[in-house]
Amino acid sequence: MILGLPPHAAALMGTVISTLIVASISCRALALKRPDRDYTELKLRTLSWWWMIGLFFLVLLLPEPFTLVFIAFLSFMALKEFFSIVPMRLVDRRAIFWAYLAIPVQYFWLGMDWYGMFIIFIPVYVFLFIPMVMIIIGDTRGFIYSAGIIHWGVMLTVFCVSHLAALYLMPTTNTQAGGVGALLFLLVMTQFNDVCQYVVGKTLGSRKIVPKVSPNKTWAGFLGGVSIITLLAAAAGPYLTVLSLWESAVAGLIISIAGFTGDLVISAIKRDLQIKDTGRLIPGHGGILDRMDSLIFTAPLFFHYLHYLYGWAGNA
């Protein structure tokens, strides 16, 4: 154990921090070499990465309940941000209250190691309960719109995000990485996939995929990101998860495609609402949803891929 973490997980965290140090030095060097150019956005993004990664790594060093509470807080912030950008009826306040209440209940099932309830609570019980509350309110104008928005918001920000905690708590036979290894694998692969698709797209891309949704997304960026992440996941997966080399490669393929899709979905929401960012919480990065757009899709798909192959040893 290194700082209470399994050695492989600690090694990955050290690698990420070293990469950030190199990025910070490079940013400083660019500013000194080309003082005529404005690198404010690059500096803000680098500083934001330090804050985000530093906070997340710190939480992973704390006891398990603290990590669970932190991820639940991320769900709360994401749901709050979602409701702040989507037009809602005033009469839906009671239903929105119950949507927020679903957050501690969802993470309570995880804390109890009750996989069966964790996996059906929001898709079944919350899905049926929210419209019941709305019926009691009695206003039918805009009923379908509000019911869909509330449940979809809870699915995206609570159900999908809670799979990060499920991944962290999932029993594993890889004692050198532990549950934190699988979580770090997902986080690093997802975020690096965004970086690879952006860099390759800017360097080699010209043919757009869906210009009306995201004009910066190109076929070259997408295929380049998929190729790099698949290879990188194949190399890192056996050290951080229970997956074999080929299983890790498939995981990388799933993460890269799902991350790309999640990015596009949140972009479509922003274009529909005619906003640039979902919030201003993170300087240079926008809001919580802007940063978690890819993870919202990769977390549940990667978790269920692991669950399909190796199962859950907790309560059914």
> What pLDDT, in 10s, does the model give residues 227-270?
999 999 999 999 999 999 999 999 999 999 999 999 999 999 99
> Would you say residue 218 lies in a domain?
no
> Would you say residue 109 lies in a domain?
yes
Q: What Å distances lie between residue 270 and 23, 99, 213, 258, CA to CA?
A: 29, 22, 9, 19
> Would you say residue 273 lies in a domain?
no
> What pLDDT, in 10s, does the model give residues 145-200?
999 999 999 999 999 999 999 999 998 888 888 889 999 999 999 988 988 888 78
Here the tokens at position 97 are 């209250």
- Domains contained in the chain, number: 1
Please give the model's pTM, rounded to 2 decimal places. 0.91
Task: Give the residue ranges of DSSP H helices in 34-142.
Answer: 40-61, 64-85, 93-111, 115-120, 127-137
How many angstroms separate the CA atoms of 305 and 289, rounded?
A: 24
> Would you say residue 32 lies in a domain?
no
Q: What's the domain range around 152?
A: 64-169
> Would you say residue 86 lies in a domain?
yes
Closest CA to 213 of 158, 282, 266: 266
> Would you say residue 10 lies in a domain?
no
Q: Is the pLDDT of residue 312 over 50?
A: yes
Across 86-90, 109-113, 208-212, 284-288, the highest mean pLDDT is recorded for: 109-113
> Would you say residue 129 lies in a domain?
yes
> Would you say residue 95 lies in a domain?
yes
